[in-house]
Structure 1
Amino acid sequence: MPGLSHLVFTHPPVDALFAAEAQVRAMLRFEQALARAEATVGVIPAAAADVIATVCQAADWDLDALAQQTLLAGNPAIPLVKMLTQRVARLDAEAAKYVHYGATSQDVLDTALVLQLQAALDLMEAQLRPLLELLAALATAHRNTLMTGRTLLQQARPITFGYKVAGWLDGLLRAQGRLTRLRAEALVLQFGGAVGTLATLGVQEPAVIAQLAGELQLPAPMLPWHGQRDRLVDLAAALGIVCGNLGKLAHDVVLLMQTEVGEVHEAAAAGKGGSSAMPHKRNPVTATFLVAIAGRTPALVHTLLAGLSQHEHERAAGAWHAEWEVLPELCRLTAAALAHAHDLLSGLEVDRDRMRHNLELTQGLIFAEDVTAALTPHLGKTAAHQLIEAASQEAPRLGQHLREYLLQLPEIQHCLSPDELSALFDPARATGLSHYFTDAVLARRRLALNSEQ
């Protein structure tokens, strides 16, 4: 039984896709498709393919026995093929000769994994779509909500919350496009036999490959990829990026939930976000899960990336085996992250008043860049910068708002009227291209949505 924290790091529907039973079904799907493809081309008798297909559709496979025999055989395909052959032989001894004909264990396991990954991507893409809608709605609702932009964790200058959300959305739109591309490029058939040359099939190799790819509805690669694992590394990195993007979103939320900031909050619920010691606490929970998941994924991606150069010659000893649980685990983590993100965003509370309040904390210092820009035509860039830099140090020392301090300076009086200076301290006029960039991302989302439909 998994530990109590298991559900933090997985999503039950994706768990089911990578369970032992699902893996066996995927492996048997390959064996069934292989027999049908070879029969269609004339490599094996059609009657033999029918018997093999019938046995492959059986549901009562001894998973415990397969697991134990895997420890002896070195991979799960060997005991499964042996078990399949025995079952076929009970019905037709002649047909048993053609089970797994021309294939190797890695063909079975790699193609089974690809089939499982297809199903997992279906699930994750279905999760991603409503998440993008939530982000688009949030960015639209807060297009004009003023807040402080922060750099190096310090207040920098005004932005809009819609602009911040648009940044989250933009990253996930790229992630969606990346997964769509890799679905076609990375999830391909594996079929090469012992050393990838399919020598057993002779001149009929290309026809069998084409037929098998059609049976499984998978693209046929240029050549088998037993020792060339870049497709899987590419997919692993894409999943890691999704988790990283969601972790960035969540980390922003955690920081905005700090007591001293208090600009957003996770939705309140009974028993959520409390402390075992401090009754007053309202901790980030869902966002914390997302940050934790994002922290786990880089090491998993690294496992595949580090192994890329370790696949010796035509088949690897160890590097291939090290992959087996990595992509399933990345899929579990990504699906969990998408589910947590949906929960987080669907109930996110945004405190506009607190955002506006926090804009005043620096007593005008966050508008220093705007004042410098307004003075530059009069004083030159260097002189303007030096003047406002000194003022930004002196005004807080005197306990004055920067605007009030500047109004007293002769250099300012000669260059700007009081009304012109006051206008520079209006946060609504200081957000730069926040609206433009937000609208551009929202337009991109609408375009993507229309192309999906």
Structure 2
Amino acid sequence: MSDPTRPDPPDTDPLDTGLLAPGRAGSAAEDATGDAAFLTAMLDAEAALTAAQADVGLVPPSAALAVAGAADPARFDPRDLALRARADGHPVIALVADLTAAVGEEHAPHVHRGATSQDVMDTAAMLVATRVLGPVLRDLTRTERALADLASRHRDTPMAGRTLTQHAVPTTFGLKAAGWRHLVLDARDRLTAVRTALPVQLGGAAGTLAAFAEYAPDRSPDTGPRLLAAYARRTGLAEPRLPWHVLRTPVADLGAALALTAGALGKIAADVLVLSRTEVAEVAEASGGGSSAMPHKANPVRAALVCAAARQLPALASVLLSGLACEDERHAG
């Protein structure tokens, strides 16, 4: 059974070390994403599919054990799969070929049986998402608690309220911190709801689940829905009402929630950047970043990195939202 809390994938030599992305380098989110993590998730999706088919009597239990044993990320080369993916537009066909060879002749016919490549790609994406949202939600909880403490300690600390960049009427720093906390709670609630709803994907060639009934001894029409339920249990993902190959709400909702979270944190960072200006100096980061030209400076680097992410994510989320408008039963691109 696939576990959404599965440990980090094995170390590999990454093509992207994060040199130009200090906001994510060394983070728990970095460990839970990337090519190695997606390879692990695809293999988990394949192993869970065979296990689910064994659960509903479509393959022998020994097949599930064989596929689970062969689905070891250390046996597969992500770079090789990526290069071979150029021929098909995605890495699943190459991965299935390698996994089939690793399983052996007896159980080779049971690998990926009845599924289509998008079943594996979407399920893997949902597994990666649910795994990375774990540390993200823990960070948001930690942030919320820190802000609650800040608001309590400074509930009577006066500061100038500012509107349209100018001094307005007095307020308190505690109220400002309480507002920051409110945004973080909104983001945490939204991401929690999205994570809970992340669905498994299984539809077969055209999203009809018809192929799976062909392998059932009685050709029962309820084989597909029963398999979908078993697959959801095996992956730990939500069971969708029906296959969602071209019903991209889960992906769009995930992108929107992540953009909202970045924006909520970006508001805090934007305030810190303004209030830590030398001529204002009302707040400061505990330890600032250095300058190669001016060693006396302590730059608000954390706030700058958060603002950078907050400005990038809306554009990235818009790409996922554009995926809602897709044609037919499977779409190109």
Same fold (TM over 0.5): yes
| 2:154 partner amino acid | H
Q: Does structure 1 conserve the Cα–Cα contact (< 8 Å) formed by 2:158 and 2:170? A: yes
Q: Please provide the CA RMSD for this pair.
A: 1.7
Query: Cα deviations across residues 360-417 of structure 1 (Å, max 9, x unaligned)?
Result: xxxxxxxxxxxxxxxxxxxxxxxxxxxxxxxxxxxxxxxxxxxxxxxxxxxxxxxxxx
CA distance in 1, matches of 2:228, 2:296: 64
Residue of structure 2 equivalent to 1:299: 315
SS in 1 for 2:86: helix
Q: Does structure 1 conserve the Cα–Cα contact (< 8 Å) formed by 2:39 and 2:73? A: no
Deviation of the 1:29 alpha carbon: 1.2
| 2:192 partner amino acid | T
| 1:43 partner amino acid | L
Equivalent residue in structure 2 for 1:143, among 143, 146, 155: 155
Equivalent residue in structure 2 for 1:131, among 129, 143, 156: 143
CA distance in 2, matches of 1:282, 1:294: 22
Equivalent residue in structure 1 for 2:27, among 12, 21, 24: 12
Q: Could you list the runs of 5+ residues in structure 1 that have no partner in the other structure?
A: 319-453
Residue of structure 1 equivalent to 2:229: 210
Residue of structure 1 equivalent to 2:201: 190
Equivalent residue in structure 1 for 2:243, among 211, 224, 232: 224
Matched, 1:317 2:332: yes
Deviation of the 1:248 alpha carbon: 0.9
Runs of 4+ residues over 4 Å off in structure 1: none
Residue of structure 2 equivalent to 1:162: 174
Equivalent residues in 2 for 1:22-171, closer than 5 Å: 22-57=37-72, 59-89=74-104, 93-171=105-183
Deviation of the 1:163 alpha carbon: 0.4
Query: Cα deviations across residues 16-56 of structure 1 (Å, max 9, x unaligned)?
Result: 22232222221111111111211221212333333222222
- Greater percentage in helix: 1
Deviation of the 1:177 alpha carbon: 0.8
Aligned residues: 310
Q: What is the percentage of aligned positions where both structures have the same residue?
A: 45
CA distance in 1, matches of 2:82, 2:295: 48
| 2:317 partner amino acid | V
| 2:47 partner amino acid | Q
Deviation of the 1:3 alpha carbon: 5.8
The 1:12/1:171 distance shift into structure 2, 3 A limit, reads closer
Deviation of the 1:139 alpha carbon: 0.3
Equivalent residues in 2 for 1:251-400, closer than 5 Å: 251-268=270-287, 272-278=288-294, 280-309=296-325, 311-318=326-333
Query: Cα deviations across residues 58-100 of structure 1 (Å, max 9, x unaligned)?
Result: 63212222111111121111100011112223xxx23211210
Equivalent residue in structure 1 for 2:189, among 163, 174, 177: 177
Deviation of the 1:143 alpha carbon: 0.3
The 1:295/1:86 distance shift into structure 2, 3 A limit, reads same
Residue of structure 2 equivalent to 1:406: none
Deviation of the 1:138 alpha carbon: 0.5
Q: Could you list the runs of 5+ residues in structure 2 that have no partner in the other structure?
A: 1-15, 214-220
The 1:243/1:205 distance shift into structure 2, 3 A limit, reads same
CA distance in 1, matches of 2:152, 2:140: 18
**Stretch moving more, 163-172 or 257-266:** 257-266
CA distance in 2, matches of 1:196, 1:75: 18
Q: Does structure 1 conserve the Cα–Cα contact (< 8 Å) formed by 2:24 and 2:30? A: no
**Which is higher, the Rg of structure 1 or of structure 2?**
1
Q: Does structure 1 conserve the Cα–Cα contact (< 8 Å) formed by 2:35 and 2:78? A: yes
Q: Does structure 2 conserve the Cα–Cα contact (< 8 Å) formed by 1:190 and 1:225? A: yes
SS in 1 for 2:246: coil
The 1:123/1:194 distance shift into structure 2, 3 A limit, reads same
CA distance in 2, matches of 1:6, 1:313: 37
Deviation of the 1:215 alpha carbon: 1.3
